[in-house]
Amino acid sequence: MSDIPARRKIGSTGLVAGLALACAGIQSAHAAPDHDKTSKKPTPHKREKTAPPSPAQTTQNESAHAQLLNGPKLDPSKAITNEEHLTVVGSRMNILHESVGLSRMPQDVMHTAQAINVVPQALMEQQNVKSLDEALRNVPGITASVGEGEGGMSGDQFLIRGFQAQNDIYENGLRDFGVYTRDSFYYDHVSVIKGPSSEVFGNGTTGGAINIVTKAPHTGNSYQGSFSGGSGDYYRGTLDINRQISDSIAVRLSAMGNENNAVGRNYIYSHRWGIAPSVTFGFNKKISYTVDYFHQNDNRIPDYGVWVVQKPGTSISKPITEYGINRKNWYGTTFDQDDVSTDMLSGRLTAKVAPWLTLFNDTKGGIYHRYYSASQPNCAAKNCVTPYFSGNPSNATTTRNGGLGGPNPYRQNDWSIQNVFSSVAHFHTGTIRHEIIGGFDIEHVEDHRKNYPYNVTRQGTSLTNPSMYVPGLERLNCADNPNGLASIPNGVGRKCYKDGSATDIGVFLSDQIWLAKWFAIKGGFRLDRWYSSYSATGGVKTTPDTHFKQNETTVNPTVNLMYTPNDDLMLYFNWAQSTTPTSLYVTNSNAPFTTNSGYAPERSSLYEVGAKYNAFKGRMGFTTALFRLEKNNSTITDPSTGDISASSDKQRNQGLELSASGNITSNWSIIGTYAFYDSRVTGSQTAADVGKRIQYVPKNSATLWSTYSIAAKTPYNLTIGGGITWREGVWLDAPNTARVPATLDFDALISHNFGKHWRVAMNGYNLANRLNYSNLFQNRVTPAVGRSFLFNLSATY
C-alpha cells in the first residue's frame, strides 16, 4: 500500500496563490512600461510580422524555422527567407492566417489542401480555455470518448469524424504518447487536420490529427499573469514570461496552478500544476535551436458517469439521468484515483543551408507515470433497472465491477522517444516550380503496468443515494490474491504484469509542382515499418504467460490538386489514405491485440473537395469541404468484456463542413462552424448492422462564438460576447439501440480593460444549466459541467 498516492484534496493551492501574487507583482516591477517594445500587440485589422506574442506572429529577426512554419504567406510558392519583411492584412480570429505548426506541412491553413479547423489563441483567451478538451469543443465532429474494458479510462481520448484519434495528439508535429488530461496553459493555438493524414504523421489519423502549437520564445520582453476563480471552488493562476537576453537568444516560461471541483458532479475534482520553460538560440541566424521542457502533475478523480438503460416498454436505451436520477450522483469508491506525472523534453533544430533548402530535426522524449484506480459501475436489469422502474427506486442497487470483475487498479510507467528529420526544398526545373518535402521518422514507446487486486469483490451501492464507502475493502499486491484480477480474453487470463512496446520507422517524400502560377499538383507517400509486442506475466500460475508480436509494413499515399487564381482563393481536391495497425495504441490500452486470426490493419481512404477564401482584405476567412471517408477492417471493442479485436466491417462517413472566422468590423469578431455527417456501416459480420449509423457520429453539429467591443480604446470600454455549442444526439452502439440526447451549451463573456495592461473578465458556461453529456462510452455517458461562472483578472506588459 505504500506506493499508492493518498486520496487527497490538496496539491496546487500554494502554487495558485503564488502565481496570483506574481501576477499582482508585475505592475510594481514594470511601473514605467516601454511603449516602444516590439511585443506591442497589433490592431485587430492588421497583423504584422513585427508583432512577437506567438509563433503565429513571428518577427523578421526570428529563426527560419518559425518563419517557414508560422508566417502567413502572400504567395504559397515562395520560400520565406530571413531577409523578408511581411505585412499581412488580417485578423487574429481568421484561422486561414494560422500555421499548421510543423515542418512537414509548411504552408498556412489557407494554402493547405485539406480541411483544417484551428482554435486560435484569441478565441482561447476570450473563452478562458483551460484544457485541450475545452479548446476542441470549438471544432465540429470531435467527440470526447473514454477507453473501455479492463484497461480503464485513458486521459484525453477523442473521436474525429466518428473515428478513434486516441493516439493522434501531437505537439509541434511530434506525437504525444502520454495518457493524461492536457492543460492548455502553454498553448499558442490548436490545429485539427481532418481526414487521413498518415503521409504526414504516420500510422493512425483515420479521422484526423490534433496538433498543438506551443508558446515559443520571441524577440522583445513580455510579461503576463492571470488569476481565475469561480464556481466549483475553482482557483487558477498562470504566468507567461518572455525575456530576450541577446540579439540571438530568448527564453520563455509558462506556468500554471489549478484546483477545481466539477460543477454538477459530486466528489469529482482535479488538482494540477505545470511548468513549461523554453529557450531559443539563433534568432536571425542560419542555424537556430529551440529547447523546451514540459512538466504537469495532475491528481483527479475519474468519472465513469451513469448507465444507458432501456426503460421497460421502450425500444431505445437512454442515460438513466433522463429518467430522474440525480445528475450529481457518482458511483465510485474511496479507492478511486487518477494520479499522473508527465515530463517531456523537446529540441527543434532549423538549418538554412541554402536560400532554397532548409533542414529540420525535431526530437522529443517523454516519461509518463500514472496510478489509476476506478470503479466501473453497472445497472443490471434484475437488481437495478427493474426495481427502479417498477415503483421501488430505493431498492435499486448498482454494481461497481463492470465487466470481468474489473477494472483493476494499476500503476503505469511509460517512456517514449521520437526523432523526425525533414527537409524543405524550393527550386525550378525549367519554368516549373517545386516544393519537395522529405525525411524520416523514428519513434519508440514502452508501456509497463503492474495490476493490483482487491481483497473482496467491491460491493455495489444504492442507485438513488450512492455511497463511496465500501467496508472492509483493501487493495492488495498481486501475489496476495491473483484470482482477484480481471481475466483478460485471448487466453491471457489473470496476470499481474502487462508490458507493451512499439517501434515505427518511417520515410516520407512529397513534391508540390506549380504547373502554372495558379495551379499546382502535390503527390506524396510515407512508408512505415511497425514492430510491436505485448506480454502478460505473473499472476495465476495455471494460465501460461502470454507473449504476442506483430510486424506491419504500410504505405500511405496522398494526392492534392490546388487551383489558386489569386492570393485570396483556393479550390482543392484531396485524396489520402491511412493505416492503423491493431496494436497501435500501446500506452492508451493494455488489452492485447489479436494475432492469430489473419486480421489486416484498419485501412481508410479520403476523397475531399473544398474551397478557402479570404474576404474583406483578410479580415474574414471562409472554408467549405465536401468529403467521403471510407474505412475497412474496423477495430471493434466488446462493451461487456473490453476485448479489442478486428473485423471485416466497413464504415463510411461523408458530409459537409463549413466555417467562417475573423472580424466583421473592427469591433465585431466571429468564429462559427457547421458539420453535416451521413455515416453508415456499409459492411459487417452482423448483417443487421449494415445501414446503421456509425456510433458516436452526430448527423449535425455546430459552434458559434462572437464578441463585440463597445467604446474600445476609451476608459469606458466593454467587450460582450457569447456563443453556442450544439451536437445532435448520437448512437452509442453498432445496432443503434442506445442513444444519448443532443448537447446544447450557451456560454457568455463580459470583459473590461483598465488602461493598456489590466483586464477583468467574467465567463459563464452552460447558462441554461442543461443536462448535457460529455464523455461517451458504449454503455455509459458522463454528465457534463452544469451552470458555472469564472472570474478572471489578468495583466500584460
Q: What pLDDT was estimated at residue 206?
A: 84
pLDDT range class, residue 633, cuts 50, 70, 90: confident
CA distance 177 to 171: 10
Q: What pLDDT was estimated at residue 416?
A: 95
Of residues 50 and 192, more confidence is placed in 192
pLDDT value at 787 more than 90: yes
- The upper half-sphere exposure of residue 456, i.e. CA atoms within 13 Å in the direction of its Cβ, equals 8
- Give tens-digit pLDDT for 87-114: 334 568 899 988 888 889 999 999 999 9
Q: Cell digits for 653?
A: 462517413
Q: What pLDDT was estimated at residue 408?
A: 83
Q: Are 651 and 644 in contact (CB under 8 A)?
A: no
User: How large is the average pLDDT for residues 345-355?
Assistant: 96
User: How large is the average pLDDT for residues 587-604?
Assistant: 62
What SS3 state is found at 89? strand
Q: What pLDDT was estimated at residue 213?
A: 94
Reference 79, options 56, 52, 103; nearest CA is: 103
Q: Please give the helix or strand (H or E) that residue 29 lies within, else none.
A: helix 13-29
CA distance 160 to 206: 8
Percentage of the chain beyond pLDDT 90 is 62
Q: Are 180 and 340 in contact (CB under 8 A)?
A: yes
CA distance 520 to 555: 23
Q: Are 192 and 626 in contact (CB under 8 A)?
A: no
- Give tens-digit pLDDT for 422-472: 999 999 999 999 999 999 999 999 999 999 999 888 888 999 999 999 999
- Give tens-digit pLDDT for 735-772: 999 999 999 999 999 999 999 999 999 999 999 999 99
Q: Cell digits for 461?
A: 451501492
User: How large is the average pLDDT for residues 317-323?
Assistant: 95
Backbone angles phi, psi at 22, to 5 degrees: -65, -40
Of residues 83 and 290, more confidence is placed in 290
Backbone angles phi, psi at 765, to 5 degrees: -125, 140
DSSP string, 189-255: EEEEEES--HHHH-S--SSEEEEEEEP---SS-EEEEEEEEETTTEEEEEEEEEEE-SSSEEEEEEE
pLDDT value at 78 more than 60: no
Q: Are 59 and 50 in contact (CB under 8 A)?
A: yes
Query: ∠ CA(242), CA(54), CA(61), 5° rounding?
Result: 80
pLDDT value at 584 more than 90: no
Of residues 447 and 778, more confidence is placed in 447
pLDDT range class, residue 333, cuts 50, 70, 90: very high
Of residues 190 and 542, more confidence is placed in 190
Of residues 700 and 49, more confidence is placed in 700
pLDDT range class, residue 591, cuts 50, 70, 90: low
Instruction: Enumerate the domain spans of the chain.
Output: 116-796
Q: What pLDDT was estimated at residue 145?
A: 66
Least confident of 370-374, 398-402, 497-501: 398-402
CA distance 159 to 637: 14
DSSP string, 517-582: TTEEEEEEEEEEEEEEEEEEESS-TTS--EEEEEEEEEEEEEEEEEEEEETTEEEEEEEEEEEE-T
Reference 215, options 248, 246, 250; nearest CA is: 250
42 prior amide bond cis, ω within 30: no
Least confident of 355-364, 392-401, 638-647, 781-790: 638-647
Secondary structure tally for the chain: helices H, strands E: 6, 42
Reference 134, options 665, 747, 715; nearest CA is: 747
Backbone angles phi, psi at 465, to 5 degrees: -140, 70
DSSP string, 471-525: TT--B--GGG-GGGS--BTTTTBS-SEEEEEEEEEEEEEEEEEEEETTEEEEEEE
Backbone angles phi, psi at 593, to 5 degrees: -95, 155
User: How large is the average pLDDT for residues 299-311?
Assistant: 91
Percentage of the chain beyond pLDDT 70 is 82
Q: What pLDDT was estimated at residue 14?
A: 47
- Give tens-digit pLDDT for 237-273: 999 999 999 999 999 999 999 999 999 999 999 999 9
Cell 537576453, residue?
245
Give 300's DSSP letter: E
Of residues 646 and 412, more confidence is placed in 412
- Give tens-digit pLDDT for 689-720: 899 999 889 999 999 999 999 999 899 999 99
CA distance 590 to 533: 11
pLDDT value at 80 more than 60: no
Of residues 285 and 151, more confidence is placed in 285
Reference 486, options 532, 535, 446, 536; nearest CA is: 536
Cell 448483417, residue?
687
CATH number of 116-796: 2.40.170.20
Find which of 200-214, 675-689, 707-721 is predicted with most confidence, using mean pLDDT.
707-721
Least confident of 139-148, 479-488, 516-525: 139-148
Q: Supply the mean pLDDT for the chain.
A: 84
Q: 283: Cβ–Cβ under 8 A, 6 or more apart, which residues?
A: 61, 62, 63, 219, 244, 247, 248, 249, 250
CA distance 599 to 190: 35
Q: Are 570 and 110 in contact (CB under 8 A)?
A: yes
pLDDT value at 84 more than 50: no
Q: What pLDDT was estimated at residue 648?
A: 63
pLDDT range class, residue 548, cuts 50, 70, 90: confident
pLDDT value at 79 more than 50: no
Reference 488, options 538, 454, 447, 551; nearest CA is: 538
pLDDT range class, residue 791, cuts 50, 70, 90: very high
Q: What pLDDT was estimated at residue 635?
A: 63
pLDDT range class, residue 603, cuts 50, 70, 90: confident
User: How large is the average pLDDT for residues 316-323?
Assistant: 95
Burial state string for 272-293 with b = 16 or more CB within 10 A and e = fewer than 16: bbbbbbbbbbbbebeebbbbbe
Q: What pLDDT was estimated at residue 777?
A: 81
